[in-house]
Amino acid sequence: MIADVDAAERRNGMLEMLERVRGGDVRALARAISLAEDGGEGAKDLLDACRELAGGARKIGVTGAPGAGKSTLVDRMARWLREQGKTVGVIAIDPTSPYTGGALLGDRIRMQDALMNSGEGIYVRSMASRGTLGGLSRAVGDACLVMEAGGRDVILIETVGVGQDEVEIARLADVTVLVLVPGMGDEVQSLKAGVMEIADVFVVNKSDREGAERTAAEIVAMQGLSGQGEMIPVIRTVATTGEGVAELMEAAARGEGECRRLSDPAEMQEASWMGELRLDHLGVAVKSLERARSFYELLGMKITHEETVEHEQVRVAMLPMGESRMELLEPVGEDSVIGRFLAKRGEGLHHVAMKVGDVDAMYLRLKENGVRLVSDRVQVGAGGHRYFFVHPASTGGVLVEVVGA
């Protein structure tokens, strides 16, 4: 009986810890991962509980030879994600190679300092690549699980080299980024064996150096030779300045399935952005829903749904029209977005909403191209739909809403 009480207490303690992890407590997260690493009975309980909560985190593996600048690149990727409002977990596998160990470890500690100072949105965990109980990939998998259950949006897994461990870890990741540097020459050729199949995105880092273009071209040519009809994107970055990191993240966001099905890079580009682009709805600001509806009803349209969105102080009536719909928007309060719009501009078209296949990718694409956005991130609306607004200054005078599919 005493043992059972102990077990129950231990379990309660574990659930409490997990609760704190989910609340963003970084120390609790560190403790939970240590508990998982210890491997005892507590670890099993914890991992079971995590399995029920996990799902939804995007796991990006970053691998490549020592000296390719992966730590700096991962640092940039993490910051970039943080700027998008994502919470990030980083799992960094410490090198075991004696001649690179010291230098890289120093980098790692500097990176950890920098990242930890940026707040709780980024958590970095280093793991030894040798002497891990039950194997490295298992330990990394467990740490991923804890981070995912803890609500991290994206997990970056940095490994060194391209050995068997890395191949196994790549299998854990949704997307694997293989980092190369200019002037690898024969090494690009040797990549064909073993590594080719794990890469979903190639990066030529240190692209400000001579030979970057040639290395990128060689990777493209090598893919052509493999004759599989699948083009894996090749992105050029300069991790020290952050150049190319946004493009890299776009490629990683698209994921393997999509990029690999299509052979023509131009077509690939188009399809992922434009695939499902269509008119979703037109938002019309009106003083009175009651008055406005009669015209649309004369047209033969029907209000299928009406609701008051409290936090936006607006009453919305939806009128389907084929695949799209009209939304009549009546202000509930004077000092609401629609209320102010009416006071300034009078009744009329308020916004045009377009539906895209990948709202995150579109957000990045517009932002990277200097389009003025009203939203500082992709927002989540009623029913979990995701959207952002583009400023009329960039669209020819109309407020554009971009909605995810």
Residues found near Co ion in the complex (CB under 5 A): 283, 353, 401
Indicate the residue among 148 and 401 with the shorter CB distance to Co ion: 401
In the bound complex, what is the minimum distance in angstroms from residue 73's beta carbon to Co ion?
A: 37
In the bound complex, what is the minimum distance in angstroms from residue 298's beta carbon to Co ion?
A: 24
Indicate the residue among 50 and 400 with the shorter CB distance to Co ion: 400
Q: What are the DSSP calls for 260-307, one per residue? A: HH---HHHHHHHHHHTT-EEEEEEEE-S-HHHHHHHHHHTT----EEE
In the bound complex, what is the minimum distance in angstroms from residue 299's beta carbon to Co ion?
A: 20
Q: What are the DSSP calls for 211-244, one per residue? A: THHHHHHHHHHHHHHHT-S-PPPEEE-BTTTTBT
In the bound complex, what is the minimum distance in angstroms from residue 402's beta carbon to Co ion?
A: 10
Indicate the residue among 162 and 353 with the shorter CB distance to Co ion: 353
- Of 19, 7, 88, which Cα lies nearest the Cα of 49? 19
Q: How many CB atoms lie within 10 A of CB 245?
A: 21
Indicate the residue among 147 and 326 with the shorter CB distance to Co ion: 326
Query: For residue 391, what are its two tokens?
Result: 């400023």
In the bound complex, what is the minimum distance in angstroms from residue 403's beta carbon to Co ion?
A: 7
Distance CA 52, CA 182 (A): 44
In the bound complex, what is the minimum distance in angstroms from residue 398's beta carbon to Co ion?
A: 12
What angle in degrees, to the nearest 10, is found between the helix axes of 265-274 and 245-261?
A: 100
Indicate the residue among 174 and 312 with the shorter CB distance to Co ion: 312
Cβ atoms of residues 372 and 391 within 8 Å: yes
In the bound complex, what is the minimum distance in angstroms from residue 153's beta carbon to Co ion?
A: 25
Indicate the residue among 57 and 329 with the shorter CB distance to Co ion: 329
Indicate the residue among 58 and 325 with the shorter CB distance to Co ion: 325
Three-state SS for 101? Answer: helix
Cβ atoms of residues 296 and 285 within 8 Å: no
Distance CA 7, CA 269 (A): 54
Distance CA 364, CA 244 (A): 12
Report the phi/psi class of residue 157: left, alpha or beta, with left for phi > 0 and alpha for psi in -120 to 50. Answer: beta
Cβ atoms of residues 46 and 11 within 8 Å: no
In the bound complex, what is the minimum distance in angstroms from residue 381's beta carbon to Co ion?
A: 9
In the bound complex, what is the minimum distance in angstroms from residue 300's beta carbon to Co ion?
A: 23
Distance CA 19, CA 211 (A): 50
Indicate the residue among 105 and 279 with the shorter CB distance to Co ion: 279
Indicate the residue among 130 and 311 with the shorter CB distance to Co ion: 311
In the bound complex, what is the minimum distance in angstroms from residue 281's beta carbon to Co ion?
A: 6
**DSSP code of 119?**
-
Q: How many CB atoms lie within 10 A of CB 85?
A: 12
Q: What are the DSSP calls for 163-191, one per residue? A: SHHHHHHHHHSSEEEEEE-TT-THHHHHH
Indicate the residue among 88 and 338 with the shorter CB distance to Co ion: 338
